[in-house]
Amino acid sequence: MGMTNDAWRQDNETKLRQMVEQMGPRLYRFAWAMLTNKEAADDVVQECFVRYWRQLDKEPGRNLGPGWLLRVTARLCLDEGRRWGRRQETLERLSSLGRTNAPCDDPAVGADQEIFSLVMQLKPKDRLTMLLVYYQDLPLAEAASILGTTETFLKTKLSRIRKRLKKEWERGQ
């Protein structure tokens, strides 16, 4: 026997609430890292959950998990970045990212901040690739699925990006 409309709607509301609690902060951090703008990241995450809600209504029983949400967030971030054409503004903001007034004696912390700053200066699709694999710690297969590519191509792309980052890192040393 199927669910009544009220029971079905309540079940969807519960699923949405659980996903917002489970994935909301992670999606926000990811969107902020891609867009470096609080308001834009908020908008992207809200739109992602609106799409999640619509998809629950459209396809009951479909398993829409964290991977689906990350994929939608990634695509929305790329669209948002293109739409606003914030490239220069982003680079200016990122140049100060991670720098604090307090001195840090640990050279590894400084190196991590510099590397992150270099990653954030990559083209949006390359930055997305690095963020998914190294900052979201996704398995290569899942990252490849989100990016709409093969695992083999992703490995090649990561290798090329790492080489570029290494050159930039060495140039700055």
At 113 the pLDDT is 77
pLDDT given for residue 159 in this prediction:
93
Query: Any idea where the domains of the chain sit in the sequence?
Result: 1-85, 86-173
pLDDT at residue 11, as a whole number:
82
* The CATH homologous superfamily of the domain defined by 86-173: PhyR, sigma-like (SL) domain (1.20.140.160)
pLDDT computed for residue 151 by the predictor = 94
Within 10 Å of residue 69's Cβ, how many Cβ atoms?
A: 23
What local confidence, expressed as pLDDT, does residue 104 receive? Answer: 43
Residues of the chain with pLDDT under 70: 1-5, 8, 60-61, 83-111, 173
Q: What is the pTM of this model?
A: 0.62
**CATH T-level topology, domain 1-85:** Rna Polymerase Sigma Factor; Chain: A (1.10.1740)
Residue 111 confidence (pLDDT): 58
Dihedral sign of CA atoms 147, 150, 153, 159 in order:
positive
**CA 121/CA 123 separation, integer angstroms:** 7
- Convert the pLDDT of each residue in 120-152 to its tens digit: 889 888 999 998 888 888 889 988 988 889 999
Q: With residue 139 as reference, give the H or E element that holds it.
A: none
DSSP state of 89: H
